[in-house]
Amino acid sequence: MAAASTRHNIIEIADDLFYRGGFEATSFADIAVKASISRGNFYYYFKTKDEILNAVIDRRLRRTRTMLDGWEAQAPKPRERIVAFIELLIANRAPIMAHGCPVGTLCAELAKLDHVHQERAAEIFGLFAHWLEEQFRALGADEAAREWALHVLAWSQGVASLATALKDGDFIRREVADITTWLDGRIASLSN
C-alpha cells in the first residue's frame, strides 16, 4: 500500500477508536491490530502517541471545516444552516448516547490529562463557535451574535452529555425542538 494511504488509514482508525474508547484507553496495539499493520510499521509513521493525537485533531478540524462549508453551500439561509448544526444531535444520536460528543469528550479528557494538545482540540469548538457567530451575524444579530453562538454550542453539549448518561434518545429530540424554538424566537426578536 502507498505510504500516504497507510498513514491516512491509521489516522482514520485512531480517530474512530479515540472517539469510541477514549484517547488514553486506546493503545498503539489496538490501532495497529485494527489497521492490520505491525506495531513496528506503526512507529514508521508516528513516533509518539501525541503525534497520532495531533494528526487526529487535524483530521477532525479539516472535516469540521468541510462540513461547515457544506452546510453553507447547501443552505442559503442562515437559519437553515444553524438548524443543520442543531440536527446533528438527532442524526448522530445513537453514537452520542453510546460515546458522547466527539469534540466535548475529547476536550474533557485532554483537560483531565492536562495534555499539551488540549488547546488544539478546543479549536474544533472554536470553528463551530465562529461559524455559528457568522450565521447569527448574517441574520442581523451584531452584538449578540457571539453570545448566541456560544449558547447554541453549550446547549448542544449539554444535551449530548445528558443523553450519554441517561441513554435517552427522546430527550435529544425534545431538546432539539426547544433549541429550534429558541432560535426562531431570537430571529423574530431581530425584526422588531
H or E stretch covering 174: helix 169-190
Nearer Cβ to DNA (50/58): 50
51 interacts with a copy of itself by CB under 8 A: no
CA distance 174 to 170: 6
Reading the block at residue 27, the C-alpha cell is: 493503545
Which among 22-30, 39-47, 78-86, 184-192 is the span making contact with a copy of itself, rule CB under 8 A? Answer: 22-30
Query: With CB cut-offs between 5 and 8 Å by kind, which of DNA, a copy of itself, none does residue 64 bind?
Result: none
Using a 10 angstrom Cβ sphere, with 0-12 exposed, 13-18 middle and 19 or more buried, the burial of residue 38 is: exposed
Q: How far apart are CA 168 and CA 130, in angstroms?
A: 30
Of 31-39, 69-77, 126-134, 184-192: span binding DNA (CB under 7 A): 31-39
What distance in Å separates the CA atoms of residue 61 and residue 33, rounded to the nearest whole number? 26
Single residue of 48, 66, 74, 181 touching DNA by CB under 7 A? 48
**Residue numbers at the binding site for a copy of itself (CB under 8 A):** 20-22, 24-25, 98-100, 103-105, 107-109, 111-113, 121-122, 125-126, 147, 150-151, 153-159, 161-162, 164-167, 171, 174-175, 178
